[in-house]
Amino acid sequence: MDKYTNGQNIAAASEKNIRTDFKESMTYGDYLHLDQLLTAQDGVSGHHDETLFIVIHQVSELWMKLILHELRAAIRSIDADDLQPAFKQMARVSKIQSQIINGWDVLATMTPAEYMEFRDDLGNASGFQSYQYRMIEFALGYKTKHVLKIYEKDPALLKELTAAFEAPGLYDAAIKKLARSGFAIDKEVLERDITTVYEPHDSVREAWKTIYRDVDTHWELYQLAEKLVDIEDWLQQWRFRHMKTVERIIGFRQGTGGSSGVHYLKKVLDQYFFPELWDIRTEI
């Protein structure tokens, strides 16, 4: 018997216990609800590349669901002064962001001519309306109340978004951790209106500078700072890749939902979620 045949026999013997009867038990497809998931790509145009367009955006939304799951867990961990789980959760967010960036690379294989074949069929539907992306912005501290109007069509969703809008973000949790660790964070920062966009403050900047100048003493807080920077760094790369993909496919056309398209996407690249952590890099 040759090695190939012997290998086949060994493989067959090792797989003899594989389950094949699932009449009364759950399958892989049942567990993942694949009947729903894989039939949720109903396009409106019949164009070949619309499937690509739908799948990329659906996959992105699934990744964003996981980002929100991890960010909320990280906030709870930081609030509980349990930083090690928070580090794992925040590191996972950064890895997920890299996957979304790779998704834009796949979408970029679609040419302008191909997209124009079905773009008008999308009506006013636009990624600008992604409510999970808004929740991610809220969780990172970027609060813009006017965007809530987009979701007034769905009262239940609006309620969920409003709750996220009014909840403390990741940086709020980090700053309060600084205060609990003995740093002199001004009261106006600790009691600020968390439904407004965070503005940098000297007391927070000085706390982070102290941490970066004495890493050995403040090792956990230093790790926290770097995990925050990782998340923002990857988010900016995500935004940049999104912007360049849109520019590559539609140029400077207006977005389907009425946004300014690439102009808007370029503008948000200048937003900072954790400004002091970037400012101090020039100072330390």
Q: Which residues are annotated as a binding site for heme?
A: 242
Q: Output the six-digit token pair for 271.
A: 């937003």
CA distances to 92, 146, 150 from 255, in Å: 31, 18, 15
Q: Output the six-digit token pair for 229.
A: 């920077």
* 113 three-class SS: helix
Q: Output the six-digit token pair for 210.
A: 């102290």
To which residue do tokens 């927070």 refer? 204
What residues form the annotated binding site for substrate?
53-57, 115, 119, 256
138 near 158, Cβ under 8 Å? no
Q: What is the spatial distance between Cα 166 and Cα 83, in angstroms, rounded to a whole number?
A: 24
DSSP 140: T
To which residue do tokens 């700053």 refer? 175
CA distances to 42, 130, 141 from 194, in Å: 40, 22, 8
What residues form the annotated binding site?
53-57, 115, 119, 242, 256
